[in-house]
Structure 1
Amino acid sequence: MQANVKWVEGNTFIGRSNSNHNVVFDGGSDSAAPSPMEMVLMSIGCCSSVDVVSILKKAKQDFSNVEVQLTAERAETAPRVFTKVNLHFVATGNNVSEKHLARAVSLSAEKYCSVALMLDKTVKITHSHEVVQDQVK
């Protein structure tokens, strides 16, 4: 895997993946885009979400939405690394099994999500989840 990051101006950078996808980063106070640490946090969420959705589909769960709410704490002094991250999964659907959701979250955390497993060596990563019933229209 390879990537390239190019400075644009100020504190704005564009990352380009080996698969030719571009991502804008903001390394300062310009707020033109997410910071690198925000991107890492969102990467944990995306990586885990891919797993959870895939596992719920294989379990034939009737879900209409899966969202992960990410909360992180950082060290007070430089380097301001993550010290804690919580991933709270909310699966919305018709009779989604809490047991299946718990299993999907657990499998992602313990076996499949390479981003979280890599960061887990230095960051306390926790997971929680809830099932929300689809509103009947």
Structure 2
Amino acid sequence: MQANVKWVEGDTFIGRSESGHAVVFDTGADGTAPSPMEMVLMSAGCCSSVDVVSILKKAKQQIENVEVKLTSERAKSAPRVFTKMNLHFVVTGTDVSEKHLARAVQLSAEKYCSVALMLDKSVKITHSHEVVAGGVK
């Protein structure tokens, strides 16, 4: 896998992936785009969400919405690495099994999410979840 990042101006950069996708980054000072650390946090959430959705679909769960609420703590001084991260999954659907959701989150955390598993070497990562009853369509 390859990518490049190019400085645009001020505190703004554009990353381009080998697959041709572009992402805007900001150092956080301008607030025009996510910072690199925000991208890392969101990447962990997205990676794990992909797993959870896939596992729940395979288990024939009637999911309507999956959201992961991410919280983190960072070191007080440079380098301001993540020290803690929590991924809280909120799954909405009809008759979604809490047991299936717990297993999906566990499998993502322990086996499938490469981003979180990589970060887990130096960050205390926790997971939590809840099921919300879905609406009638």
Q: Deviations over 1:81-121 (max 9, x none)?
A: 00000000010000000000000000000000000000000
Q: Contact 2:12 / 2:27 at 8 angstroms: preserved in 1?
A: yes
Instruction: Answer yes or no: is the 8 Å Cα contact 2:28–2:34 preserved in 1.
Output: no
* Residue pairs, 1:5-16, within 5 angstroms: 5-16=5-16
1:126 corresponds to which residue?
126
Q: Gaps (5+ residues) in structure 2?
A: none
| TM-score normalised to structure 1 length | 0.98
Gaps of 5+ in 1: none
Aligned partners of 1:44 and 1:18: how far apart in 2?
20
Aligned residue in 1 for 2:103: 103
Specify the SS of the correspondent of 2:106: helix
Q: Percent identity, please.
A: 82
Counterpart in 1 of 2:63?
63
Whole-Å separation in 2 of the counterparts to 1:136 and 1:55? 23
**How many residues were matched structurally?**
137
Structure 1 runs of 4+ with >4 Å offset = none
Which stretch shifts more, 15-24 or 127-136?
127-136
Over aligned residue pairs, what C-alpha RMSD do you find? 0.8
1:23-102 to 2 correspondences below 5 Å: 23-102=23-102
